[in-house]
Amino acid sequence: MKIATWNINSVRLRRNLVARFLRIHQPDVLCLQETKTINDLFPKTTFAKLGYEHQAIHGQKGYHGVAILSRVPFRDTHSKTLCDREDCRHVAAEFKNGLELHNFYVPAGGDIPDPKLNPKFAHKLAFLREMAHAFTNNPERNKPMVLVGDLNVAPLPHDVWSHTQLLNVVSHTPLEVDLLNAAKASLDWVDVTREFVPHGEKAYSWWSYRAQDWKKSDRGRRLDHVWTSRGLKGAAKTHAILKPLRGWKQASDHVPVLVELDI
């Protein structure tokens, strides 16, 4: 089963890029974040015509939003409300093969890494805590589960272009990293990217629009993640961060992460 995750930064603006990706890479399931549209305006037909007839969409006007597009039928879908906000940051699907898939869009957190001075950062920290709580003491810890999404934290030193220069920059601060690690530990999740890419090698999935030449400067961060439960131990067969897509015309600042699992 091939599963991809991609912060698309407006699915209506980039529907043709999504369609191009689906035609080229043929994932069974694509999880999108930051779709930025209400459910009724989501380009369902565009993707259904490509075989992705099964769609779980949770969106709102102009901001946030998540979706799961699948060629494989769902058994059930649902969404979680975190931090008592209906801001469309989670959607989940369960498939007939027993796999449970969670798609998250963690708040970016603004620019100031101090929750007392920055409500957006405080929200991000609270969201990460609730993510951890959502899976703690799960009675089905051995169930095949996958968690994907733009988690907006680059946890490891080589997940950013400069560990020392970004220690006080939102997305790589020790406080965020600790909370993401707590969420990861809540269900003994496995970070699939780092199963394939050694910890000593750089790995990025996001490059800022602010860079004059993103490719030349290559100042990226790994914000997009795929985690698997211990019920899928050894199931990951292939993995790719599709960096060339950052160079597509009118590209998102994120690129897809694609994994293949033997379920």
Tell me the average pLDDT across 146-153. Answer: 98
Instruction: Output the pLDDT for position 205.
Output: 98
Contact 82, 63 (CB under 8 A): no
Instruction: Output the pLDDT for position 86.
Output: 92
Tell me the average pLDDT across 107-115. Answer: 98
Tell me the average pLDDT across 166-189. Answer: 97
pLDDT digits (tens, 9 = 90+) for 179-230: 999 999 999 999 999 999 999 999 999 999 999 999 999 999 999 999 999 9
Q: Nearest 10 degrees: CA dihedral of 245, 251, 254, 257?
A: -30
Domain residues for the domain of 190 are: 2-261
Tell me the average pLDDT across 3-9. Answer: 98
Residue 126 is part of a domain; what is its CATH number? 3.60.10.10
Tell me the average pLDDT across 119-133. Answer: 97
Contact 92, 101 (CB under 8 A): yes
**Domain total of the chain:** 1
The DSSP call for residue 232 is G
Q: Which two tokens stand for residue 94?
A: 């369960």
Tell me the average pLDDT across 20-35. Answer: 98
Residue 138: pLDDT band (50, 70, 90) is confident
pLDDT digits (tens, 9 = 90+) for 244-255: 999 999 999 999
Instruction: Output the pLDDT for position 14.
Output: 98
Residue 36: pLDDT band (50, 70, 90) is very high
**How much is the mean pLDDT over the chain?**
97
Instruction: Output the pLDDT for position 141.
Output: 77
pLDDT at 139 exceeding the cut of 90: no
The DSSP call for residue 158 is G
pLDDT digits (tens, 9 = 90+) for 51-109: 999 999 999 999 999 999 999 999 999 999 999 999 999 999 999 999 999 999 999 99
What is the chain's Cα-based Rg? 17
Instruction: Output the pLDDT for position 101.
Output: 98
pLDDT at 32 exceeding the cut of 90: yes
125-134 core/surface letters (b: 16 or more CB in 10 A; e: else): bbbbebbbeb
Distance CA 77, CA 74 (A): 7
What one-character-per-residue DSSP string does 227-252 give?
EE-GGGTT-EEEEEE-GGGGGSTT--
